[in-house]
Structure 1
Amino acid sequence: MNLSFGVKALIVIICALVSVITGMVAGLLNHDPGTPKRKSVIFGGGVFGGCMILCVTVLTSLGVF
């Protein structure tokens, strides 16, 4: 695909936002009341990274980048 730079940047921003939302939900689901939040934040960050890598990999295989 021959997409302009602006469209590619918009797609990457959308992927990042979806990954942030997924990481936040995973961190909230991982948190137990009365325990430190550090473990949940690290878990959510890992889920964010994994989701972002998955999104970029799928877009690369579709030929967007």
Structure 2
Amino acid sequence: MNLSLGVKVLVIVTCILFSTLVGIGAGWISHKPGARKRDGVLVGGGTFGGTLTLCLLTLTVLGVL
């Protein structure tokens, strides 16, 4: 695809926002009462990184980026 730079930036920002929501949800679900907060943050951060990688790789394979 031949997309302009503005559209590509918008797609990347959308991927980042989606990955942030998934990471927040995963960290929130993994948090247990009485546990350290950093364990939930680590799970959320790892999930964010994995989701963002998958989103960007998928869009690259499809030829969007």
Q: TM-score range by the shorter chain?
A: over 0.9
Matched residues, number: 65
1-side partners of 2:61 and 2:35: how far apart? 41
The runs of at least 4 consecutive aligned structure 1 residues that moved more than 6 Å come to none
> Which residue matches 2:4?
4
Q: Unpaired segments of 5 or more residues in structure 2? A: none
Identity of aligned residues (%): 51
> Which residue matches 1:28?
28
Instruction: Report the TM-score, using the length of structure 2 for normalisation.
Output: 0.98
Q: Unpaired segments of 5 or more residues in structure 1? A: none
Instruction: Report the TM-score, using the length of structure 1 for normalisation.
Output: 0.98
2-side partners of 1:58 and 1:45: how far apart? 20
Q: CA RMSD in A?
A: 0.4
